[in-house]
């Protein structure tokens, strides 16, 4: 079956047709292209399905006989260096391409409906297909330069898609933030690639690993330099996978349309960093300190993501932080050297998170008709609640995604997360404790999201949160922000909501303990049912379930979430533990020669599973305790006041919750820190340098010009052309000279 | 062999045809415009034809050579020729100047003179790139200054006289050093002045003299390239000039400095070049960071793009001073690539200025909805300018990086530091270029002006920018288009460094 591999180059290039055709169509026949827009969506889905079938075929081949195929073409011919283009088909590639194509197809089907009323429907599909091209190119690339190329291209797609609704200033800022943050990582990646080229003289993965191993074994290279280069390479993965110091772009990236968040910022692109580290794991394994670094960054991200997700109001931002936390788990697993567990979690998490994001997109879609099109409102969990009866199917899918992410047994994420937790016990107890603790946190915040959105009553109606009668007036149009101006400033809750996006940091850090706000905060925290006025219940529209086109991918993803765990579950056949994933990855495992024997003692497994599941249930229980909606709202109102009174006494627990809440709501103060030091620093530097440029470097020639002007004017004044003055000076000097000579003659 | 004087025809044709504009009857601008564009296209076709059929890229020697004695008494020849180094810039000149003429369609004031000057520029630029005689080089260098000065001082913005004066003073000041260098090199040694570049390549000088020559030439080219701290004429000039002039300035004139650095400083004075190259490299790194961090502080859109050009020129300096095959190839590729990208950015900035009549970035915003095509093209070119893979800027910068890495000349630590510095430029570039496009296009704004100004780019503008966009993508995907032309010549130049 050699010939299949020969045609593997179509994997990345087939989806490329769509953006090319749409682009040229929009350029030359704009009207016709816009009228036939469904055809474009259909064709992009069709092409992607072909790619999916193809990569499935490749995957089956890979499972049956593990062999690595590589094809190369030369790209630039130069005497000193030659760049090559090619593709590499190995288990990792086939897993990733399967994952990307399946999720992408579902997301494309979904977004046909989600984006159907958008003006940029075609642009969206063009970007999406281009993203698929570059992502598939990334996973099939055979050398580091190619990886860098596609790495940048997926970054650009992410930039374009975050800024898809470019009229929103927040989206404009978010996309630039994402690109620049990713550029910081790319800076590291490029330098790392160059450094390793310098050390080994190769970009090909296998040559590079071989040469590098030999060099290290023979002690021929400066180990400090190697560590620096490996660290720089890893920095690329840190930025792309939203790990700790460079994670700031991911929550802001939720400004993009929700299908984008599902595909790019949850399932595929953010996994590119994990993919890169997995790809280069043989390299990192040689340098133990880098492995420590990877697992350390991983565990920090796990904890940080978990804590930051605790008190977000925006449903997508909470999910984004949860993505970040789960990516931290994968990074941790890679740092521990358990390649298989990391990839397993990557797969299961991708499906579960895609399910969750698509579910939240469906929610947002149905909320938009009720509360308006501003993301401040339609994604705000404060305004949701009690959606179970309005959107039952979405609710089911969301619940299943939540349970899967919490790690409840039959669902996908349980298997993979349990494996990582298991391995972390072996690696280091401290890391294990943090990882288990965060598993509890995960359960807590996921159920917080679930309870706030689906239980209780629909808060959007109960609360007269804007002071206007009809919701359609003040809803901010999709293409603009001007509606914000009409908001009545007296209503504190609303100012809180609107300011949250832009001025969250300054607002909270200035007066966090001001009483009234605090009360408000607490109200929102505890019950989310602050009833101000009952009279305004004149809105008839209720959120309703999305169309079938949107529900179909959700249901498929539910199936995936249920059954994808199977590939990693060991079936005891004839005494040997054999699961598909292990079989799939055998060749890569051999390359890594670690962790190859995977003897899972079923007893031990049971104990660990019980532990993790009980921690998850504990988290869920706490979530119920906090966020269980009180159905008798009037009584609850009194209760809140009680809470407030008790809060004045500043009980320790209350304080702690406050601290955690502020920490989470301010995004761990990290954004504020960056804004204060880095952004202001760069701006200040720019001001300073341009001042220097204008005043000093430019000042010299200008000063020169001005001086010469004055000198010229002076000379002109002196030589004014008046004969009388010439005669005067002439005779003046002649007389002086005469006197002088006369004196001399007099003395001699 | 063919004996048709291709290059002389190419050099003479535009200025000759341009001087015919003045004998045209006074019958509106339209006929002059069409005439100029026809001449430009004809010239471009002529260049392409001549190079297609009479140029072998695998030959490092001078081709299409012509040699006519001009002034007998000091051995001054009309000597033209093309090799792998100059073919790229000549083609770039033909391409960009033709498009700039097309871009200058809205110019109606004094259009005879304007179009004559454009054609005169055409001749001067091609003459410079194809001259094989040192004095002829100098004369062509001076020849294209005059049209630029006039174009600036007559068709510019409000402060045009200030910037035109600044431009002419800076470049004329540089030319003095160039003239001194030319005379010094020409008169050294034998009794007869030697101005032929071929014979000069093989001449060697005492080291101290070579260093003096090197400094003289370097100052002249540093003004043109520009290299800090001699760059301040560039933002002023670009800020004021009409955008067709800007296209010529950014696309071609800056590249003359780089061309001169390779052609004269590297080829004729190899010893001095290898002495100076470490400090050049430091200057290049500083320039990348300095200009990239000056750029966000600019409020004027065109000045911001101008500083981005200055920053990109740093890569050329580093490529030239790395003294490797790869680095020099990268520098040549960067010359071509920035010629396209810079010209296109100035063109788009100019066309959007024509519509919104705002120069300062903080007053702009939200013009993406009325002008989606300009938005798309501008974002594509700012992506190209921040070196997105798949576009020409990326591959040029990557090859320069490789040149630096593979260079034998430098030690480990300086290499690391310089690579690091260059890579900081990679972070700074998206900051200014993306925030530029964000401030211009993103957001939402209601315009009080009547809607008639807000038509999207028409077919002419669309054609100009797509015509530039295609080679950018083409080179980015298959860089051998340019590299195959220059590889042999670069090798020949660098072999000097190993034989001596």
pLDDT digits (tens, 9 = 90+) for A584-605: 666 555 544 444 444 556 677 7
Determine the pLDDT at residue B446: 67
8 Å CB contact of A167 and B444: yes
Go through A486-500 and write b for each residue having 16 or more CB atoms within 10 A of its CB, e for each that does not: ebeeebebbbbbbeb
Report the pLDDT averaged over residues B125-142: 91
DSSP string, A632-654: -HHHHHHHHHHHHHHHHT--HHH
Q: What is the DSSP letter of A694?
A: I
Report the pLDDT averaged over residues A593-618: 71
Task: Look at the pTM and tell me if it is higher than 0.95.
Answer: no
- On whether residue B313 sits in a domain, the answer given is yes
Using CB atoms, pick whichever of B290, B435, B480 lies closest to residue A689: B290
Determine the pLDDT at residue A495: 39
Chain B residue whose CA is closest to A76: B480
Closest CA to A165 of A134, A202, A137, A127: A127
**Rounded to whole angstroms, how far apart are CA atoms A438 and A609?**
15
Report the pLDDT averaged over residues A197-203: 85
8 Å CB contact of B295 and A686: yes
Report the pLDDT averaged over residues A85-91: 84
**Rounded to whole angstroms, how far apart are CA atoms A201 and B274?**
25
Of the pLDDT bands very low, low, confident and very high (cuts 50, 70, 90), residue B46 is very high
Ordered alpha helix ranges (H), B188-253: 197-201, 207-224, 233-240, 243-248
**Rounded to whole angstroms, how far apart are CA atoms B10 and B127?**
9
pLDDT at B348 exceeding the cut of 80: yes
**Rounded to whole angstroms, how far apart are CA atoms A616 and A444?**
8
Give SS3 for B147: helix
8 Å CB contact of A81 and B329: no
**Rounded to whole angstroms, how far apart are CA atoms B392 and B487?**
17
Determine the pLDDT at residue A521: 42
Q: What is the DSSP letter of B64?
A: E
Determine the pLDDT at residue B212: 92
Of the pLDDT bands very low, low, confident and very high (cuts 50, 70, 90), residue A299 is very high
Of the pLDDT bands very low, low, confident and very high (cuts 50, 70, 90), residue A468 is very low
| pLDDT per residue as tens digits for the range A679-726 | 888 888 888 988 888 888 888 888 888 898 899 888 887 776 678 888
pLDDT at A188 exceeding the cut of 80: yes
**Rounded to whole angstroms, how far apart are CA atoms B465 and B246?**
14
Of the pLDDT bands very low, low, confident and very high (cuts 50, 70, 90), residue B452 is low
Determine the pLDDT at residue A642: 47
How many structural domains does chain B have? 1
Determine the pLDDT at residue B28: 76
Report the pLDDT averaged over residues A46-74: 83
Of the pLDDT bands very low, low, confident and very high (cuts 50, 70, 90), residue A80 is low
Determine the pLDDT at residue A512: 36
Of the pLDDT bands very low, low, confident and very high (cuts 50, 70, 90), residue A509 is very low
Determine the pLDDT at residue A492: 41
Contact between residue A275 and residue A150 where contact means Cβ atoms under 8 Å apart: no
The percentage of residues in chain B with a pLDDT greater than 70, rounded to a whole number, is 97
Ordered alpha helix ranges (H), A218-252: 223-240, 249-252
How many Å separate Cα B477 from the centre of its chain?
A: 22
- On whether residue B398 sits in a domain, the answer given is yes
Question: Which residues on B lie below 8 Å from A197 (Cβ)?
Answer: 402, 405
**Rounded to whole angstroms, how far apart are CA atoms A92 and A88?**
10
Q: What are phi and psi of A470, to 5 degrees?
A: -105, 140
Chain B residue whose CA is closest to A222: B412
**What is the residue-averaged pLDDT of chain A?**
78
Spell out the domain ranges in chain A.
Answer: 672-746
Closest CA to A340 of A561, A562, A583: A583
- On whether residue B124 sits in a domain, the answer given is no
Contact between residue A564 and residue A348 where contact means Cβ atoms under 8 Å apart: yes
Question: Which residues on A lie below 8 Å from B166 (Cβ)?
Answer: 701
How many Å separate Cα B30 from the centre of its chain?
A: 29
| pLDDT per residue as tens digits for the range A213-261 | 888 888 877 888 889 999 999 999 999 998 988 889 998 888 888 898 8
Contact between residue A622 and residue A310 where contact means Cβ atoms under 8 Å apart: no
| pLDDT per residue as tens digits for the range A377-397 | 778 777 777 777 778 888 888
**What is the residue-averaged pLDDT of chain B?**
87
Give the number of other CB atoms < 10 A from CB of residue A290: 22
Of the pLDDT bands very low, low, confident and very high (cuts 50, 70, 90), residue B214 is very high
**Rounded to whole angstroms, how far apart are CA atoms A591 and A299?**
26
- On whether residue B343 sits in a domain, the answer given is yes
Chain B residue whose CA is closest to A480: B444
Give SS3 for B441: helix
**Rounded to whole angstroms, how far apart are CA atoms A261 and A356?**
10
Of the pLDDT bands very low, low, confident and very high (cuts 50, 70, 90), residue A465 is very low
pLDDT at B176 exceeding the cut of 80: yes
Question: Which residues on B lie below 8 Å from A691 (Cβ)?
Answer: 297
Among B384, B389, B412, B487, the strongest candidate for a mutation testing the A interface, having the largest count of A CBs within 10 A, is B389
**Rounded to whole angstroms, how far apart are CA atoms A627 and A441?**
14
8 Å CB contact of B483 and A77: yes
Determine the pLDDT at residue A415: 84
Q: Please report how the helices B325-356 and B301-321 are oriented relative to each other, as an axis angle in degrees rounded to 10.
A: 170
- On whether residue B316 sits in a domain, the answer given is yes
Using CB atoms, pick whichever of B229, B294, B326 lies closest to residue A81: B326
Show the domain range for B468. Answer: 276-446+454-499
Determine the pLDDT at residue A275: 92
Tell me the nearest-neighbour CA distance from B295 into chain A, angstroms: 7
- On whether residue B144 sits in a domain, the answer given is no
Tokens representing residue A219 in the block:
């002690």
| pLDDT per residue as tens digits for the range B376-434 | 899 999 999 988 988 999 999 999 998 888 888 788 888 889 999 999 988 899 999 99
- On whether residue B19 sits in a domain, the answer given is no
Determine the pLDDT at residue A494: 39
Contact between residue B2 and residue B54 where contact means Cβ atoms under 8 Å apart: yes
| pLDDT per residue as tens digits for the range A89-99 | 888 888 888 89
Report the pLDDT averaged over residues B168-174: 89
8 Å CB contact of B405 and A481: no
| pLDDT per residue as tens digits for the range A129-170 | 999 999 999 998 888 889 999 999 999 999 999 988 888 888
Contact between residue B240 and residue B299 where contact means Cβ atoms under 8 Å apart: no
């Amino acid at each position: 079956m050699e010939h299949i591999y020969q045609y593997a180059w179509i994997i990345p290039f087939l989806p490329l047709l769509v953006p090319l055709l749409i682009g040229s169509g929009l350029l030359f026949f704009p009207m016709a292209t816009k009228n036939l827009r469904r055809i474009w969506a259909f064709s992009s889905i069709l092409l992607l399905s072909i790619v999916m079938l193809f990569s499935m075929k490749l995957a089956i081949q890979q499972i049956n006989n593990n062999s690595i195929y590589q094809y190369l073409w030369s790209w630039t011919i130069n005497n000193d260096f030659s760049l090559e283009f090619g593709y590499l088909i190995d288990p990792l590639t086939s897993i990733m391409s399967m994952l990307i194509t399946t999720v992408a197809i579902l997301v494309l089907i979904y977004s046909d409906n989600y984006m159907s009323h958008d003006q940029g429907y075609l642009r969206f599909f063009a970007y999406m297909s281009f993203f698929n091209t570059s992502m598939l190119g990334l996973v099939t690339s055979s050398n580091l330069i190619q990886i860098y190329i596609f790495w940048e291209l997926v970054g650009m797609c992410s930039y374009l898609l975050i800024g898809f609704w470019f009229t929103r200033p927040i989206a404009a800022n978010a996309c630039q933030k994402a690109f620049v943050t990713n550029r910081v990582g790319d800076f590291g990646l490029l330098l790392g690639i160059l450094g390793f080229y310098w050390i080994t003289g190769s970009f090909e993965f296998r040559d590079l690993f071989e040469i590098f191993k030999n060099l290290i074994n023979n002690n021929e290279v400066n180990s400090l330099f190697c560590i620096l280069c490996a660290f720089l390479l890893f920095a690329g993965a840190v930025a792309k996978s939203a790990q700790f110091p460079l994670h700031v772009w991911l929550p802001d990236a939720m400004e993009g349309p929700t299908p984008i968040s599902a595909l790019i910022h949850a399932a595929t692109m953010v996994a590119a960093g994990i993919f890169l580290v997995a790809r280069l794991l043989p390299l990192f394994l040689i340098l133990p300190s880098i492995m420590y670094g990877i697992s350390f960054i991983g565990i920090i991200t796990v904890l940080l993501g978990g804590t930051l997700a605790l008190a977000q109001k925006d449903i997508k931002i909470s999910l984004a932080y949860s993505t970040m936390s789960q990516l931290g788990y994968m990074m941790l697993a890679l740092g521990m050297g358990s390649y298989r567990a990391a990839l397993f979690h990557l797969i299961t998490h991708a499906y579960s998170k895609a399910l969750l994001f698509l579910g939240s997109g469906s929610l947002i879609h149905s909320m938009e008709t009720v509360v308006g099109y501003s993301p401040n409102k339609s994604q705000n969990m404060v305004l949701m609640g009690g959606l179970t009866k309005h959107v039952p199917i979405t609710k089911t899918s969301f619940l299943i995604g939540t349970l899967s992410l919490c790690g409840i047994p039959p669902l996908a994420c349980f298997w993979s997360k349990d494996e990582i937790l298991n391995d972390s016990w072996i690696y280091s107890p401290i890391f294990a404790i943090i990882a288990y603790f965060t598993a509890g946190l995960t359960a807590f915040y996921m159920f917080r999201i679930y309870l706030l959105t689906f239980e209780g009553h629909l808060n959007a109606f109960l609360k007269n949160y804007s002071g206007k009668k009809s919701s359609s007036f003040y809803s901010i149009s999709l293409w603009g922000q001007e509606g914000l101006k009409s908001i009545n400033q007296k209503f504190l809750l609303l100012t809180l909501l609107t300011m949250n996006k832009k001025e969250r940091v300054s607002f909270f850090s200035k007066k966090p303990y001001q009483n009234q706000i605090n009360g408000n905060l607490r109200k929102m925290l505890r019950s989310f049912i602050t009833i101000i006025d009952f009279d305004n219940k004149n809105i008839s529209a209720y959120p309703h379930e999305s169309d079938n086109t949107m529900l179909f991918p959700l249901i498929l993803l539910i199936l995936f979430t249920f059954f994808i765990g199977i590939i990693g579950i060991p079936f005891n056949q004839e005494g040997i533990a054999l699961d598909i994933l292990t079989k799939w990855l055998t060749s890569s495992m051999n390359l890594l020669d670690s962790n190859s024997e995977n003897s899972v003692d079923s007893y031990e497994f049971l104990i660990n599973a019980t532990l993790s599941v009980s921690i998850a249930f504990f988290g869920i229980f706490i979530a119920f305790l906090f966020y269980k909606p009180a159905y008798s709202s009037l009584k609850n109102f009194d209760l809140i006041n009680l809470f407030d009174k008790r809060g004045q006494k500043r009980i320790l627990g209350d304080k702690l919750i406050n601290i955690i809440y502020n920490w989470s709501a301010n995004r761990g103060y990290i954004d504020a820190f960056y804004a204060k030091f880095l952004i202001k620093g760069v701006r200040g530097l720019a001001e300073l340098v341009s001042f220097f440029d204008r005043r000093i470097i430019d000042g010299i020639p200008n000063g020169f010009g001005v001086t010469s002007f004055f000198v010229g004017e002076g000379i002109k004044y002196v030589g004014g052309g008046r004969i009388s003055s010439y005669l005067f000076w002439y005779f003046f000097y002649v007389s002086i000279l005469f006197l002088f000579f006369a004196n001399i003659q007099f003395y001699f | 062999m063919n004996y048709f004087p291709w290059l002389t025809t190419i050099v003479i044709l535009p200025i000759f045809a341009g001087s015919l504009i003045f004998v045209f009857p006074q019958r509106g601008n339209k006929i002059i415009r069409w005439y100029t564009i026809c001449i430009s296209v004809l010239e471009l076709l002529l260049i392409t034809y001549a190079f297609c059929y009479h140029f072998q890229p695998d030959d490092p020697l001078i081709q299409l050579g012509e040699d006519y004695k001009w002034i007998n008494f000091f051995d001054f020849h009309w000597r033209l020729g093309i090799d792998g180094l100059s073919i790229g810039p000549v083609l770039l000149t033909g391409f960009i100047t033709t498009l700039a003429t097309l871009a200058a369609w809205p110019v109606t004031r004094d259009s005879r003179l304007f179009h004559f000057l454009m054609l005169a520029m055409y001749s001067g630029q091609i003459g410079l790139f194809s001259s094989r005689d040192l004095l002829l080089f100098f004369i062509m260098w001076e020849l294209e200054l005059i049209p630029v000065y006039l174009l600036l001082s007559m068709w510019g913005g409000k402060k045009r006289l200030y910037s035109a004066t600044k431009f002419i003073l800076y470049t004329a000041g540089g030319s003095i050093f160039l003239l001194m260098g030319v005379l010094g090199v020409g008169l050294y040694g034998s009794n007869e002045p030697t101005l032929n570049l071929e014979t000069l390549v093989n001449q060697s000088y005492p080291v101290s003299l070579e260093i003096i020559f090197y400094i003289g030439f370097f100052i002249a080219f540093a003004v043109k390239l520009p290299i800090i701290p001699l760059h301040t004429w560039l933002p002023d000039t670009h800020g004021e000039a009409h955008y067709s002039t800007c296209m010529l300035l950014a696309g071609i004139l800056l590249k003359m400095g780089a061309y001169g650095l390779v052609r004269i400083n590297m080829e004729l004075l190899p010893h001095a070049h290898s002495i100076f190259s470490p400090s050049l490299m430091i200057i290049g790194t500083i320039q990348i960071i300095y200009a990239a961090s000056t750029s966000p502080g600019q409020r004027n859109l065109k000045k911001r793009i101008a500083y981005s050009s200055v920053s990109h020129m740093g890569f050329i300096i580093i490529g030239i001073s790395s003294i490797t095959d790869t680095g020099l190839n990268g520098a040549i590729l960067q010359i071509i690539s920035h010629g396209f990208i810079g010209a296109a950015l100035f063109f788009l900035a100019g066309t959007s200025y024509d519509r919104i009549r705002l120069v300062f970035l903080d007053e702009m915003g939200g013009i993406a909805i009325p002008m989606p095509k300009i938005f798309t093209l501008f974002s594509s070119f700012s992506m190209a300018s921040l070196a997105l893979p798949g576009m020409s800027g990326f591959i040029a910068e990557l090859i320069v990086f490789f040149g630096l890495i593979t260079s034998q000349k430098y030690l480990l630590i300086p290499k690391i530091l310089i690579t690091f510095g260059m890579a900081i430029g990679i972070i700074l570039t998206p900051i200014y270029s993306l925030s530029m496009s964000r401030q211009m296009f993103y957001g939402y704004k209601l315009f009080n002006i009547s809607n008639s100004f807000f038509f999207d780019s028409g077919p002419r503008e669309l054609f100009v920018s797509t015509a530039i966009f295609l080679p950018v993508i083409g080179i980015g995907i298959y860089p051998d288009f340019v590299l195959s032309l220059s590889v042999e010549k670069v090798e020949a130049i660098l072999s000097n460094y190993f034989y001596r």
